[in-house]
Amino acid sequence: FHLLPALLENNDFELVIAGRQTPHKQRILEEAEKYNCTDRVHIIGQISDEDKAWYYKNCSAFLFPSVAEGFGLPIIEAMHFGKAVFLSKFTSLPEVGGDAAYYFDTFEPAHMQSVFTNGMKDFIERDRANEMVKQAEKFTWDIAANQYLSLYQKCLEE
């Protein structure tokens, strides 16, 4: 996440990072200083579900360049609100984002800037919000429960 301030170069976006405080906060702020955007980087800590919904509803995009995520529920939440999502191609994130998401192939700042800039342009020009919502609809608790039930039944039959 410390590379995200690089994406603020040459635009007027703001970066809001929510969640538990980590040792990476200082590194993120150092990167923000490097890109002269400290006034547009907001590390707000843990937030309520109500605040989280507000941020999802009012953000321009959701970025989740994780290299250690097991599934990615926040991605589904952001897509539910029709937001562009930018993810790393690593771990299970492509399974969640599918063809709807935009992906970082590397964590080189120039590459990430290009993916973000071109992705936002594509998202707006092609009005892809509905695609995001449809991708999110593939993941419901009912679907997950039915898949587990099917798996258990298959195991019992063997």
Return phi, psi of residue 114, to 5°.
Answer: -65, -45
Residue environment code for 57-87, b if the CB has 16+ CB neighbours within 10 A, otherwise e: eebebbbbbbeebeebebbbbbbbbbbbbbb
All structural domains of the chain, each given as residue ranges with its CATH number in brackets, are 47-157 (3.40.50.2000)
User: Average pLDDT in the 64-89 region?
Assistant: 91
**What's this model's pTM, rounded to 2 decimal places?**
0.87
Given a contact cutoff of 8 angstroms between Cβ atoms, the answer to whether 87 and 65 are in contact is: yes
pLDDT tens figures, 24-62 = 889 999 999 999 999 999 999 999 999 999 999 999 999
pLDDT tens figures, 90-101 = 888 999 999 999
The Cα–Cα gap between 91 and 71 comes to 8
Q: Given a cut of 70, is residue 144 above it in pLDDT? A: no
pLDDT tens figures, 101-140 = 999 999 999 999 999 999 999 999 999 999 999 999 998 7
The Cα–Cα gap between 65 and 1 comes to 7
Note the pLDDT of residue 109.
Answer: 94
